Structure 1
Amino acid sequence: MKVEVYAVLKEYFEKEFTLQRSFDDIHSLRSFLISENPQAEKLLNISRFAVDNEFVDNNYSLKENDHISIMPPSSGG
């Protein structure tokens, strides 16, 4: 499973990384990432997750070869 993070999340995780373990859904992936880096919890809890470039909800069932993008809220001018 390939994971890519954006914006400020790159301060907590590598921009792209591969996870060798399986996760049932987005919720379990988010929980794992929080356990790996508790300092990112607040940000992960408000971030949107996309699988293969489509936003998904917390109950989305993950597959082994999914490409997950995690995008925190952003502001611009």
Structure 2
Amino acid sequence: MKIEVFAVLKDFYDKQFTIGEALKDIHELKRYLITQKPEAEGILRVCRFAVNDELVGSHYNLKADDRISVIPPSSGG
């Protein structure tokens, strides 16, 4: 799986990276990311996830060739 993170998440992870682990769904991916960088847990809990440019829920079933975007909340003015 190819992962891309945005905004504050780049303080914790590379902007783009690959995960070779077999993860079942977004919920499992989130737990995996927290395990890798526990200090990012707070922000990961409020992030949205998109698979192949489409927002998905936490029980979306992942495939090895998915491209996943991790999108933290943003504010604008």
Shorter-chain TM band: over 0.9
How many residue pairs are counted as aligned between the two chains? 77
Runs of 4+ in structure 1 over 6 Å off: none
Q: What is the alpha-carbon distance in structure 2 between the residues aligned to residue 11 and residue 61 of structure 1?
A: 27
State the match for 1:53 in structure 2.
53
* Aligned-residue RMSD, C-alpha: 0.4
- Residue 22 of structure 1: how far off its partner (Å): 1.2
TM-score by length of 1: 0.98
The TM-score normalised by the length of structure 2 is: 0.98
Structure 1 spans left out of the alignment, 5+ residues = none
How far residue 21 of structure 1 moved from its aligned partner, in angstroms, is: 1.1
- Equivalence map 1:58-77=2 (5 Å): 58-77=58-77
Ranges in structure 2 where 5+ consecutive residues have no aligned partner: none
Deviations along 1:50-73, whole A, 9 cap, x unmatched?
000000000000000000000000
1:24: Cα distance to partner? 0.2
* 1:16 alignment partner AA: Q
| DSSP 3-state at the match of 1:24 | coil
Aligned sequence identity (%):
51
Give SS of 2:45's match: helix
